[in-house]
Amino acid sequence: MRISVIGCGYLGAVHAACMAKLGHEVVGIDVDERKIADLSAARAPFFEPGLEDLLREVQATGRLSFTTDMAAAVGNSVHFICVGTPQKKGENAADMTYVDAATAGLLPHLSPGDVVVGKSTVPVGTAARLAAIVKDAQPEAHLLWNPEFLREGHAVSDTLQPDRLVYGVTGGSEDHDAVQILDRVYATPLEAGVPRLVADLPTAELVKTAANSFLATKISFINAMAELCDAAGADVTVLADAIGLDDRIGRKFLNAGIGFGGGCLPKDIRAFMARAGELGADQALTFLREVDAINMRRRIRVVELTRELCGGSLLGQRVTVLGAAFKPESDDVRDSPALSIAAQLQLQGAVVTVTDPQALQNAARRFPELHYEESTDAAIHRADVLLLLTEWQEYRDLDPYETAAMVASPKVLDGRNVLEHHKWRAAGWTYRGLGRP
């Protein structure tokens, strides 16, 4: 099939490459010339495992190209909208500027029978609004909503082998013409047995925000338990293992720590609350306010624990932060709890050094006032306290004896509860986890 992918960020670049991998002819379109130049040269504009290899592989077939020219969508039959929906400045609601602009830019290039497929995470009601605009411009074109559930760091495999495919169509019927077209797009995963659900437009939009809200709630639940464990002298990691063995609960997303961040969960739950308010259903989501509040308290807790570890004052203390990305295997620092904690500590008088295997450039752009070190050894050298805030494998693998020889004082705060605390304590470290005695 001939496909356009509009928006080539974390979602669109991966989607375009994966669609070409599935055998389609794909053009990726974005307004950012640098991004397009990078992608055209098979360079990923951000760190995502497997993406560059995939770009090289599919570009060699001639099935994938990138451009800034929206007219390249002409002649394609399926157009995916993959642009961002960040949080509006000073508000909880989602900023729809990019989705609206992408749709408006596409309209003059639509032909009868074309299918516009929204993938961006949007406030419920957006798809119906855009479907009407598409129908006005091209009465024989359709708009579908096909939410994306990919995780950064696993984006390629999540796109090629998703857990499920959700199609939102006007009316929610399997018989809608566009369902067959999307089935052809996803023929390979469907043949492999990936479940497919057809829903009406608002349900499809809600599936995405509901899924992200559930994940955020699960993380905040375990972080609330961590607060209790701290108060009661219990261990939240054992508690999570024990409740996680109940398969109604499950162990995934029960890792207590510094909380969730990134370009999705924080802004998505806020936009969901804002939208529920507009719909007069705000009470249904007041619990998400608490989810957000628990999450933000984690950052304060880490700052307080670091102060304790430093003997009551952060002034002049050399604090080394291991990890700046919002999670490992990513260079994304959007709403990264690690960076936000680093910046707080610096504001409160600590001398903070941040290191990360991939995210330093992005981090320096966001917080230029922090000191960054590429080398882990150099960052650790003469530290008064180490903070493990993003659980990259290389930090999990640190040897407590060798590391102790490098620091000024062997004190570590394990913000992700991933270090073997017995080993670190045996090596002479003062170890603090979150929600662990």
Give the active site residues.
Answer: 264
- The candidate with the shortest Cα–Cα distance to 47, out of 337, 327, 359, is 359
What gap in Å lies between CA 265 and CA 224, rounded to an integer? 17
Residue 219 as a binder of ligand UDX (CB under 6 A): the answer is: yes
Residue 253 as a binder of ligand UDX (CB under 6 A): the answer is: yes
Exactly one of 83, 106, 181, 254 binds ligand UDX (CB under 6 A); that residue is 254
Tokens, residue 359? 């995210």
- If the CB atoms of residues 110 and 265 are measured against ligand UDX, the closer one turns out to be 265
Residue 114 as a binder of ligand UDX (CB under 6 A): the answer is: no
Per-residue x/- track, 197-216, ligand UDX (CB under 6 A):
---------------x--x-
Residue 265 as a binder of ligand UDX (CB under 6 A): the answer is: yes
- If the CB atoms of residues 79 and 327 are measured against ligand UDX, the closer one turns out to be 327
Considering only residues 19 to 78 of the shown chain, the ones binding ligand UDX according to CB under 6 A are none
- If the CB atoms of residues 255 and 320 are measured against ligand UDX, the closer one turns out to be 255
Tokens, residue 77? 């039959």
3-state helix, strand and coil shares in percent for the chain, rounded to the nearest 5: 45, 15, 40
DSSP 279-309: TT-GGGGHHHHHHHHHHHHHHHHHHHHHHHH
Residue 3 as a binder of ligand UDX (CB under 6 A): the answer is: no
- The candidate with the shortest Cα–Cα distance to 381, out of 417, 355, 419, is 355
Residue 149 as a binder of ligand UDX (CB under 6 A): the answer is: yes
Backbone angles phi, psi at 356, to 5 degrees: -165, 145
For residue 385, list its beta bridge partners.
319
Exactly one of 326, 367, 372, 395 binds ligand UDX (CB under 6 A); that residue is 326
- If the CB atoms of residues 151 and 366 are measured against ligand UDX, the closer one turns out to be 151
Q: How far is the CB of 402 from ligand UDX (least distance, A)?
A: 26
- The candidate with the shortest Cα–Cα distance to 410, out of 394, 426, 395, is 426
Exactly one of 83, 130, 264, 273 binds ligand UDX (CB under 6 A); that residue is 264
Q: Report how many residues bind ligand UDX under the rule CB under 6 A.
A: 20
DSSP 154-176: SHHHHHHS-S-EEEE-GGG-TT-
As a whole number of Å, the end-to-end CA separation of the chain is 57
Tokens, residue 279? 């719909």
CB of 322 closer than 8 Å to CB of 353: no
Q: How far is the CB of 121 from ligand UDX (least distance, A)?
A: 8
- If the CB atoms of residues 12 and 262 are measured against ligand UDX, the closer one turns out to be 262
Q: How far is the CB of 123 from ligand UDX (least distance, A)?
A: 16
The footprint of ligand UDX (CB under 6 A) covers 148-152, 212, 215, 219, 253-255, 257, 259-262, 264-265, 326-327
